[in-house]
């Protein structure tokens, strides 16, 4: 049992660890894949929002009017969007635009949106030609014109946006910028915006001064004797470009998506935690398995112990039944088996006692007579030999009955089935037992039904023997002047079918406490077991086994003082065993 317990425990632990480990691995892998996909989708959404907002500011030269774009992006992506300056001043917030109280922004780092125009120095140099190796004046004229042109474009786009004039999306970027307004623009408005966007002489001088001062600072000493190199010119170009356009370009803004308690925020899954949870689940399963196995195996051990006692001859051992599961069913089945074995042992002991009792008296008589003959006490006359012969025949009949009963109980009783008329079978029995019935002063009758006589597939000799035993007992039980009635009729239950044969007497009846024992071997209603009160006590037991061999049933009903009825139910003709 211990080895079995160890094997079961090891197997369950192995299955538990493999199952929980595989589940944890699959969970981590699936969750990680989902999170990766979620992060990718979130990044694509953020990139879309960033690029759309930057494109708006680049096209319009200002952040004014961005509220509509923010609302459209919120409806499209479902994201809460908050735009603010680097100083924290809110420019646009979808919560405020909806009329809600602004929620606390997300704690994630903000994204900086920079829509200021960027300069490709290489393009500028290519466009305006190589700089003069002496002073750089040639490229400065083209570069300063580029600054003035882009300042004009930025102011023009902002002016049109403030006047709610849509700007055509076809804006030419690169070395030369242009802004095209949509159709239907008032010429006076467009002319005014163009006029207001022009650079002033002061601005142009400041552009020139800034560029010249920067180049001067980059010349190595002695100043004015050598021209600045290419890297110095690029740095000055980028610096002056950014500084001079900064007052008219859109200011950088902070972009934050979501809010502080956003349930859709990124979740990180650590494999260590998943494995720890899997380990905890495995530990709980192992502990539960240990407790369950202890209960199961303890019950099995109890059954094994009781079985060993049963095999050693102790039929009193029983298993305690706990619960209502399969183990409890096993315990109940074992107890039933033990009860059946104990009852069989008791029946066998009683049978041996009964056989010994049945044989003791006649054998003692035979022995006494033989010893008397041997000693010459009794003369060997004809009457003595007839008596001894009668006793020997009775004992032979008893042995034959026991052998026949044993064959019937073991299922080895041979049957030669034929189809017979049940009424004719009963008439044959009435003829055979009429003399004994008349001697006892009992009327023996057969009731004939009005319908066609039922047919049965039986062994006629065996069935006559069974019914004959019932008739013999009924005649013996009936008082002088009483009656015994035989009847056969089809079964009243159409689902059951078959034939019902009854033997009814008007005798003294059987007590309710004795009724369950009437088919037991050697049972007699008379506890004194006198020979004048009945036969050997095997007739009803043999009758029941013969009926059972035919696939039928034999039952008894009795009312004390009124009489008894024994009922044989046989299957329909053609359904019995051959």
Identify the pLDDT of residue 134.
39
> What gap in Å lies between CA 224 and CA 247, rounded to an integer?
31
- The upper half-sphere exposure of residue 210, i.e. CA atoms within 13 Å in the direction of its Cβ, equals 20
Task: Determine if the peptide bond prior to 222 is cis (ω within 30°).
Answer: yes
> What gap in Å lies between CA 529 and CA 534, rounded to an integer?
8
DSSP 114: -
User: In which order are the strands placed within the sheet that holds 553-559?
Assistant: 443-447, 483-490, 499-505, 563-570, 553-559
The two structure tokens encoding residue 82: 């908050």
**Nearest C-alpha neighbor of 115 from the set 45, 61, 156:** 61
Identify the pLDDT of residue 474.
92
> What gap in Å lies between CA 409 and CA 542, rounded to an integer?
9
**Cα dist from 351 to 144, 343, 345, 508, 517, whole Å:** 133, 12, 10, 27, 14
If DSSP codes are grouped into helix, strand and coil, which group holds residue 334? helix
The two structure tokens encoding residue 460: 């006629």
DSSP one-letter string for 3-33: HHHHHHHHHHHHHHHHHHHHHHHHHHHHHHH
Identify the pLDDT of residue 128.
36
Strands 483-490 and 443-447: parallel
Burial code (b: 16+ CB inside 10 Å, e: under 16) for 455-466 equals: bbbbbbebbbbb
Where are the chain's structural domains? 2-115+266-274, 121-249, 315-412, 414-570
Return phi, psi of residue 226, to 5°: -145, 155
Sign for the pseudo-dihedral over CA of 242, 246, 250, 255? positive
Identify the pLDDT of residue 62.
92
Identify the pLDDT of residue 85.
94
CATH topology agreement for domains 315-412 and 414-570: no
Q: Which fold has domain 414-570?
A: Heat Shock Protein 90 (3.30.565)
Identify the pLDDT of residue 48.
94
If DSSP codes are grouped into helix, strand and coil, which group holds residue 552? coil
Identify the pLDDT of residue 94.
93
Whether 566 and 503 have beta carbons less than 8 Å apart is answered as: yes
DSSP one-letter string for 177-229: -B--BPSS--HHHHHHHHHHHSPPHHHHHHHHHHHHHHHHHHSPSSTTSS---
Whether this model's pTM surpasses 0.75: no
Identify the pLDDT of residue 535.
58
Identify the pLDDT of residue 2.
54
| Helix intervals (H) in 376-444 | 382-409, 422-439
Identify the pLDDT of residue 9.
67
Is domain 315-412 given the CATH code 3.10.400.10 in the classification? no
Identify the pLDDT of residue 256.
92
Angle at 327 between CA 307 and CA 291, to 5 degrees: 110
Q: Which residues of the chain have pLDDT under 50?
A: 121-138, 169-177, 223-225, 263-268, 528-533, 578
| Burial of residue 116, with CB atoms counted within 10 A of its CB: 0-12 exposed, 13-18 middle, 19 or more buried | middle
Identify the pLDDT of residue 173.
38
Identify the pLDDT of residue 263.
45
Burial code (b: 16+ CB inside 10 Å, e: under 16) for 182-198 equals: eeebeeeebeebeeebe
**Cα dist from 129 to 133, 139, 228, whole Å:** 12, 7, 16
> What gap in Å lies between CA 97 and CA 391, rounded to an integer?
123
Whether 211 and 95 have beta carbons less than 8 Å apart is answered as: no
Whether 269 and 26 have beta carbons less than 8 Å apart is answered as: no
> What gap in Å lies between CA 180 and CA 168, rounded to an integer?
5
With left for phi above 0 and alpha for psi between -120 and 50, is residue 69 left, alpha or beta? alpha
């Amino acid at each position: 049992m211990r080895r079995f317990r160890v094997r079961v425990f090891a197997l369950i632990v192995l299955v538990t660890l493999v199952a929980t480990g595989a589940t944890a691995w699959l969970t981590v892998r699936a969750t990680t894949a989902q999170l990766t996909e979620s992060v990718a989708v979130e990044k694509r959404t953020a990139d879309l929002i960033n690029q759309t907002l930057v494109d708006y500011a680049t096209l319009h030269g200002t952040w004014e009017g961005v509220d509509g774009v923010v609302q459209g992006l919120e409806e499209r992506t479902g994201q809460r969007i908050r735009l603010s300056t680097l100083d924290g001043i809110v420019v646009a917030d979808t919560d405020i635009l909806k009329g809600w109280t602004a929620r606390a922004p997300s704690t994630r780092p903000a994204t900086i949106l920079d829509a200021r125009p960027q300069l490709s120095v290489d393009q500028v140099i290519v466009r305006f030609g190589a700089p003069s190796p002496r002073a750089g004046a040639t490229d400065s004229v083209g570069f300063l014109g580029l600054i003035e042109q882009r300042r004009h474009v930025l102011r023009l786009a902002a002016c049109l946006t403030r006047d709610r004039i849509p700007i055509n999306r076809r804006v030419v970027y690169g070395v030369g910028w242009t802004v095209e307004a949509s159709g239907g623009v008032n010429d006076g408005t467009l002319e005014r915006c163009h006029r207001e966007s022009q650079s002033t002489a002061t601005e142009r001088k400041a552009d020139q001064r800034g560029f010249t001062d920067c180049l001067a600072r980059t010349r190595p000493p002695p100043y004015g004797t050598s021209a600045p190199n290419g890297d110095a010119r690029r740095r000055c170009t980028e610096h002056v470009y950014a500084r001079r356009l900064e007052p008219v370009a859109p200011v950088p803004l902070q972009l934050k998506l979501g809010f502080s308690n956003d349930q859709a925020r990124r979740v990180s899954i650590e494999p260590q935690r998943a494995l720890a949870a899997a380990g905890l689940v495995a530990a709980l399963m192992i502990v539960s398995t240990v407790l369950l196995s202890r209960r199961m195996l303890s019950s099995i051990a109890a059954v094994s112990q009781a079985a060993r006692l049963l095999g050693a001859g102790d039929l009193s051992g029983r298993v305690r039944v706990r619960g209502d599961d399969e183990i409890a069913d096993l315990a109940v089945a074992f107890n039933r088996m033990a009860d059946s074995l104990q009852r069989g042992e008791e029946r066998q002991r009683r049978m041996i006692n009964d056989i010994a009792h049945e044989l003791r008296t006649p054998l003692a008589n035979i022995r006494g007579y033989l010893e008397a003959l041997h000693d010459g006490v009794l003369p060997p006359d004809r009457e003595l030999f007839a008596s001894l012969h009668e006793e020997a025949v009775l004992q032979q009949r008893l042995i034959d009955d026991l052998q026949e009963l044993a064959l019937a109980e073991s299922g080895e009783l041979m049957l030669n089935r034929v189809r017979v008329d049940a009424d004719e079978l009963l008439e044959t029995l009435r003829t055979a037992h009429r003399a004994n019935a008349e001697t006892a002063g009992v009327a023996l009758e057969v009731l004939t039904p009005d319908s066609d006589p039922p047919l049965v597939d039986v062994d006629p000799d065996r069935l006559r023997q069974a019914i004959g035993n019932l008739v013999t007992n009924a005649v013996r039980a009936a008082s002088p002047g009483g009656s015994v009635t035989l009847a056969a009729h089809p079964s009243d239950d159409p689902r059951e079918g078959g034939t019902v044969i009854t033997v009814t007497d008007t005798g003294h009846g059987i007590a309710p406490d004795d009724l369950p024992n009437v088919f037991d071997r050697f049972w007699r209603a008379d506890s004194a077991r006198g020979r004048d009160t009945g036969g050997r006590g095997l007739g009803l037991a043999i009758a029941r086994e013969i009926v059972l061999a035919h696939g039928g049933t034999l039952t008894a009903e009795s009312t004390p003082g009124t009489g008894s009825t024994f009922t044989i139910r046989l299957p329909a003709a053609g359904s019995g065993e051959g």
